[in-house]
Amino acid sequence: MTTRLPSELVAAGLAPPEKLADLVRVAKRYAVAITPEIAALIDRDDPNDPIARQFVPNIAELTTTPDERADPIGDYVHSPVEGIVHRYPDRVLLKLVNVCAVYCRFCFRREMVGPGKQMLSAEQLDAALMYIRARPDIWEVILTGGDPLLLSARRLSEVMRRIGAIEHVRVVRIHTRLPVVSPKKITPSLMRALKAHGKTTYVALHANHPRELTPSVRAAVARIIDGGIPMVSQSVLLRGVNDDVATLEQLMRTFVECRIKPYYLHHADLAPGTSHFRTTIAEGQALIRALRGRMSGLAQPTYVLDIPGGYGKMPVGPGYIDMCGDAGAMVEDINGIKHRYPS
């Protein structure tokens, strides 16, 4: 059973009794949900457990810094109709639901998701698909939310069928945490619902720590991939969770071993009450530089920053080349040694 109430967190040993009042205060503002699968991963004896840090509320969430904002990546700025975010010419987000199986404490949409938040109405979905249909430059539709895999297989299949009828859309990408937090829900009927006739479907899996990729999660991932759907990963760089080279290396290697291509490592967004999770960009760059010398290119994610205000996602990894005008360039290798290269 999913744990949602502060009293249930304490009863399950996920938080100490003396923190109950703090938990109640946080839960009044931000949604809480921890599935049994995630609860089983939490080490109750470790006050700094990286899984607990991602899901158990913390009083620090009620501290908002001046640079944090309710809509940190500008979803609303680029939402021409309800449910659509159109930030780039060739792709749109389609936000079908505003609920999740779990609620990450660092979520950049934490002001927009939670119990009681509605999925798109039939009329709103019609308008969103009409928007996509009217714009032939849209090549990719990204289903997000909330978690779109919380839809019933019947409803998801109907959405995919309707997207499949739009000629110029060639790719559907589905962003989800469900295979990690509730792997048994990756059922044959849900698998069938992931496909749209004539389109290529990708599933982007969100995981931040290698312990999240349990045998049951790996089996759920295998069901998706063996069903003909390629997978990529998305992770967020989080202080106290994965902000060390060994953890990131193990996470990315595990993705590759599961046949998931590491895709993005996100710099944590400026969502309210999340400053205790954010590293500096320089710290992130140093981690990516260290990974470059330790892992195959298959396992290298792109470190990205979503520019606040809705200006888009940009790579912010370390640089390895200095241009020297007519003299050519200086290129730095994985050991930090610089080599001249002709222009």
User: Based on the domain organization, do 26 and 119 belong to the same domain?
Assistant: no
User: Based on the domain organization, do 256 and 191 belong to the same domain?
Assistant: yes
pLDDT of residue 293: 85
Give the three-class secondary structure for 314: strand
Q: What is the pTM of this model?
A: 0.95
| Count: domains in the chain | 2
Reported confidence tier of residue 323, pLDDT bands at 50, 70, 90: confident
Tokens coding 268: 């944590």
Please report whether residue 239 resides in a domain.
Answer: yes
Q: Supply the DSSP symbol for 328.
A: -
Question: Which range marks the domain in which residue 194 is found?
Answer: 65-321
pLDDT of residue 334: 86
Please report whether residue 335 resides in a domain.
Answer: no
Please report whether residue 108 resides in a domain.
Answer: yes
Q: Which residue, 43, 62, 81, sits at the end of a domain?
A: 62
User: Based on the domain organization, do 117 and 5 belong to the same domain?
Assistant: no
The CA-based angle 203-204-209, given to 5 degrees, is 135
Please report whether residue 331 resides in a domain.
Answer: no
User: Based on the domain organization, do 208 and 293 belong to the same domain?
Assistant: yes
Q: How far apart are CA 178 and CA 191, in angstroms?
A: 13
Reported confidence tier of residue 25, pLDDT bands at 50, 70, 90: very high
Tokens coding 312: 């888009």
User: Based on the domain organization, do 284 and 211 belong to the same domain?
Assistant: yes
Strands (E), the chain: 84-88, 91-95, 140-144, 171-176, 200-206, 231-237, 260-267, 302-307, 312-315, 321-323, 329-332, 338-341
Please report whether residue 107 resides in a domain.
Answer: yes
Q: What is the pLDDT of residues 43-66, one digit of tens each?
A: 999 999 999 999 999 999 999 999
- Within 8 A by CB and 6+ apart from 260, the residues are 205, 221, 225, 231, 232, 233
User: Based on the domain organization, do 111 and 211 belong to the same domain?
Assistant: yes
Which residues participate in catalysis according to the annotation? 87-88, 91, 100, 104, 107, 109, 269, 306, 313
User: Based on the domain organization, do 264 and 293 belong to the same domain?
Assistant: yes
User: Based on the domain organization, do 133 and 18 belong to the same domain?
Assistant: no
User: Based on the domain organization, do 29 and 169 belong to the same domain?
Assistant: no
User: Based on the domain organization, do 179 and 222 belong to the same domain?
Assistant: yes
Q: Which residue, 28, 46, 62, sits at the end of a domain?
A: 62
Contact call for residues 83 and 125 (beta carbons, < 8 A): yes
Contact call for residues 191 and 223 (beta carbons, < 8 A): yes
Please report whether residue 329 resides in a domain.
Answer: no
Q: What is the CATH number of the domain that holds 122?
A: 3.20.20.70
Please report whether residue 341 resides in a domain.
Answer: no
Q: What is the pLDDT of residues 184-213, one digit of tens each?
A: 999 999 999 999 999 999 999 999 999 999
pLDDT of residue 107: 96
Q: Which residue, 14, 44, 62, sits at the end of a domain?
A: 62
Mean pLDDT across the stretch 58-76?
Answer: 95
Please report whether residue 330 resides in a domain.
Answer: no
Q: What is the pLDDT of residues 101-155, one digit of tens each?
A: 999 999 999 999 988 777 899 999 999 999 999 999 999 999 998 999 999 999 9
